Structure 1
Amino acid sequence: MAFPARTSVPAVLLGALALFGSATAAASPTVDSLDPTVAPGGNFDLGVWELQLPIGSPGSPTTIRSSDLVGADGYTNPAYFWTDKNDGSMTFWDPEKGVTTPNSNYARSELREMNRDGSAADWSLSGTHRLSAELRVVSVTKNVCVGQIHLGSGGSSTKPLIELYYHSNGDVVLGTENSPDGGQTTHYLTNVPMGQHWTYTLAVENDQIKVTVNGHTTTYPIQGGFYDYRQYFKAGDYNQSASDSTSNGAKVKFYSLTVSHG
Structure 2
Amino acid sequence: MSDDNSSWTRVLSNQTSSGNTAGFEKYPVTETSARYVRITGEGNSANNWNSILETEILDCTDGTPPPVTPPPSGDLDPNVAPSGNFDLLDWTLSIPVDTDGDGKADTIKENELSASYENNEFFFTAADGGMTFKAPVDGAKTSTNTSYTRSELREMLRRGDTSHSTKGVGKNNWVFSSAPSSDQTAAGGVDGTLDATLKVDHVTTTGSSSQIGRVIVGQIHANDDEPVRIYYRKLPGNSKGAIYIAHEPNGGSDSWYDMIGSRSSSASNPSDGIELGEVFSYQIKVVGNTLTVTIMREGKADVVQEVDMSSSGYDAGGQYMYFKAGVYNQNNTGDANDYVQATFYKVENKHQGYAY
Q: Which has the higher strand share?
A: 1
Deviation per CA, 1:6-65: give whole Å up to 9, x if none: xxxxxxxxxxxxxxxxxxxxxxx9521100000000000101100011111465210001
| Pairs within 5 Å for 1:242-257 | 242-243=332-333, 245-257=335-347
Deviation per CA, 1:191-231: give whole Å up to 9, x if none: 21221000001111142001111133221011342223111
1:203 alignment partner, one of 280, 285, 300: 285
Deviation at 1:95, TM superposition (A): 0.3
CA contact (8 A) 1:139 1:249 kept: yes
- Comparing 36-45 and 221-230, the one that deviates more: 221-230
Look up the equivalent residue of 1:231 and give its one-letter code. M
Deviation at 1:245, TM superposition (A): 3.2
SS in 2 for 1:212: strand
Deviation per CA, 1:177-197: give whole Å up to 9, x if none: 1x3224212111122122100
Larger Rg: 2
Alpha-carbon separation, structure 1, partners of 2:225 and 2:331: 18
CA contact (8 A) 1:31 1:87 kept: no
State TM-score, norm by structure 1.
Answer: 0.81
Structure 2 equivalent of residue 168 of structure 1: 234
Structure 2 equivalent of residue 69 of structure 1: 113
Alpha-carbon separation, structure 1, partners of 2:349 and 2:222: 17
Alpha-carbon separation, structure 2, partners of 1:160 and 1:103: 14
State TM-score, norm by structure 2.
Answer: 0.60
Alpha-carbon separation, structure 1, partners of 2:203 and 2:85: 25
CA contact (8 A) 2:289 2:315 kept: no
Look up the equivalent residue of 1:31 and give its one-letter code. S
1:231 alignment partner, one of 307, 312, 321: 321
Work out whether 1:39 is the aligned partner of 2:81.
Answer: yes
Alpha-carbon separation, structure 1, partners of 2:252 and 2:94: 23
Alpha-carbon separation, structure 2, partners of 1:184 and 1:128: 21
Which aligned segments of 4 or more residues in structure 1 are displaced greater than 6 angstroms? none
Structure 1 equivalent of residue 254 of structure 2: 184
Alpha-carbon separation, structure 1, partners of 2:338 and 2:108: 24
Deviation per CA, 1:90-121: give whole Å up to 9, x if none: 00110001111211100100000002235433
CA contact (8 A) 1:150 1:160 kept: yes
Percent identical among aligned pairs is 34
CA contact (8 A) 1:59 1:102 kept: no
Look up the equivalent residue of 2:295 and give its one-letter code. V
Deviation per CA, 1:59-78: give whole Å up to 9, x if none: 5210001101114xx11001
Alpha-carbon separation, structure 1, partners of 2:145 and 2:315: 22
Between the two structures, name the one with larger relative contact order (CA 8 Å, sep ≥ 6): 1
- CA RMSD in angstroms comes to 1.7
Alpha-carbon separation, structure 2, partners of 1:51 and 1:230: 19
CA contact (8 A) 1:39 1:76 kept: yes
Alpha-carbon separation, structure 1, partners of 2:344 and 2:199: 7
Structure 2 equivalent of residue 7 of structure 1: none
Structure 2 equivalent of residue 104 of structure 1: 146
Judged with a 3 Å threshold, the aligned counterparts in structure 2 of structure 1 residues 181 and 207 are, in CA distance, closer, same or farther, namely closer
Work out whether 1:60 is the aligned partner of 2:104.
Answer: yes
Alpha-carbon separation, structure 2, partners of 1:58 and 1:243: 24
Unaligned runs of 5+ in 1: 1-28, 153-157
Structure 1 equivalent of residue 133 of structure 2: 92
